[in-house]
A and B are shown apart, each in its own frame.
Chain A
Amino acid sequence: MSRRLPSSAALRVVPAPGQVLGFPTADAASGLLVEGAADISMEDLYKRFAPYVAAIATRILGRESEVEDVVQDVFIAALGGLKKRDQLLQAKSWFATVTVRSSMRKLRTRALWSLFDLAEPPQYERLSDPAAGPEERRMVAEVYRALDGVSAKERVAWVLRHVQGESLEDTALLCECSLATAKRRIAAAHAVVKQRLEAGGAHGH
């Protein structure tokens, strides 16, 4: 019999080092569903993984309007792609990978629209955890503005590492690149973020 998760309102995710995001159950660390996973219905999958997918998409994209699209795309893919039992048993990593891919596509579309000045203006003020202090909230908004200036690949790698809290190895895995490439992308994005924050800090003083 499958265990029920608490409602998604209780699933507010505040990542900490080593914590698995959006899946606060005993089996979260292994990434496996509970026993009898093959019997899990799509409804269960929505309840269990929609918040998880949304959390990753939010961190990568930073814009509410795009998150819902990505969640929808991921579950459309799940309807067609999550059929085999072995995939179901590793549903968590499957959702993470597909979410990263889908978010990456969204970022590229956004970049395309921005060429014609049709992209939505960024609204990053709501992003921070309400528990965060004002300085951190400003920092998060500024970080996301800086990330708008880097490539989609570099942005995704940096977010997975420094916002999602993934290890370097998992970041490389989710970005579907080598460890060295992941490090290089993170470093490239980090330089831009750092420069922007330092410039903002100097301006503020």
Chain B
Amino acid sequence: MDIERRLREGPLRVEPLWDAEQTARLPQRVLAARRRRALVRAVAAVSALAAAIAVWTLAPQASVTPSAPALASASAGPANLRAFALADGSRVSLLSGSSRVEVVEQTSVLVRTRLGAGAARFDVIRDAQRVFEVESGEVKVSVLGTAFSVVRVGALPRVAVERGAVRVQWTGGEAFLSAGQSGSYPPLAEPTPVAPVAPVEPLADVAGSPAEESRSWRKLAKRGAYAAAYEAIGAASKDVRDEPSDLMLAADVARLSRHPSEATRYLSRVADGFPRDKRAPLAAFTLGRVLLEDLGQAARAADAFRLAQQLAPKGPLASDALAREAEAAQRAGQRERARKAAARYLELYPSGPQAERLRKL
């Protein structure tokens, strides 16, 4: 039996083991099998639910999300913690009994949620093609991949970032927070009486000792009193420690009190002086924004956005930084650079949030 010779003549001839009667019988078989499978799935789901309830009831501590953030202190206690997963794998943990989170929109490019009340922690799966947003009052928090908490106490949502970076936007302004930073938004223009706003604390202590804190610019900054904080820095600039947390906070103070040139000094120091720090890419990115939007120095801004990409090529800000580099280069008249940056963005993120705009660039 020479298989080679036979196959040269054509495929082997095999008779389908099937007849018209089987075709006629098939719909009933399929429906019956479908019902059986649905029943099996329902039984399995009920069993799993019963098991989960049993575990929850017998061992509530075991069900609590591990390493609950500091903001969880605002909740009524671990027994009230609840969590759910979104379609993209991101997880939302409700940190208090009164927490209310609504999923407004869920597509492959945008997940939009709304924190109506209470506190919640968002552990967002990284996906450069998708934007994850949390709305709370007038504030919108946008992320690409990170973990952060939002507490809504009264009218001012408070955002605390555990990992990655987020952009907080409100009418007339925006802020960028990186890991360890927190703040209440929109920031207040002037110092306000200390209200019972924060039963929560930031995730990382960006300030010094409590005694020092009480009289320093940091406390003013954390209350959102940036103008007063800037004045305080001006009186004793040596108070700004040469380390990323303090420099970033000082940059926020300068920027939000409308002293962009001062802000660039602090931001440059973080980006250039601490390139391995996790806040360095955010510093470079923010530097680019300040140079572009507040100071009109587009060419320098393009360089800063480039630096943000170089510091964290796979970081959550990389795609935005690339898009902004294209925009800044265009504004600076560097057309070839703008074209290249836009082309690279479209190559890396063909359906990214800036793709449409950059195609027109």
How many interface residues does A have (CB within 8 Å)? 52
Q: Which residues of B contact A22 (CB under 8 A)?
A: 16
Q: How far is the CB of B150 from chain A (nearest CB, A)?
A: 37
Q: Which residues of B contact A194 (CB under 8 A)?
A: 3-4
Q: How far is the CB of A163 from chain B (nearest CB, A)?
A: 5
A139 touches B10 (CB 8 A): no
For A131, the closest partner residue in chain B by CB is B13
Stretch from B21-29, B171-179, B280-288 contacting the other chain: B21-29
B11 at the A interface (CB under 8 A): yes
For B27, the closest partner residue in chain A by CB is A46
A108 at the B interface (CB under 8 A): no
Q: Which residues of B contact A87 (CB under 8 A)?
A: none
Given contacts A15-B11, A17-B10, A75-B30, contact A139 B18 (CB under 8 A): no
**Bound form: Cα–Cα A136–B14 in Å:** 10
B34 touches A79 (CB 8 A): yes
B1 touches A163 (CB 8 A): no
For B6, the closest partner residue in chain A by CB is A139
**Bound form: Cα–Cα A121–B128 in Å:** 52
B33 touches A50 (CB 8 A): no
Which residues of chain A in 70-108 are interfacial with respect to chain B, using CB atoms and an 8 Å cutoff?
71-72, 75-76, 79
A14 at the B interface (CB under 8 A): yes
Task: Give which listed residue, A72, A135, A140, contacts B14 with CB less than 8 A.
Answer: A140
A127 at the B interface (CB under 8 A): yes
A163 touches B14 (CB 8 A): yes
Given contacts A128-B13, A128-B14, contact A72 B26 (CB under 8 A): yes
Which residues of chain B in 1-50 are interfacial with respect to chain A, using CB atoms and an 8 Å cutoff?
1-4, 6-7, 10-20, 22-23, 26-27, 29-30, 33-34, 37
Task: Give which listed residue, A42, A71, A76, A126, contacts B15 with CB less than 8 A.
Answer: A126
A153 at the B interface (CB under 8 A): no
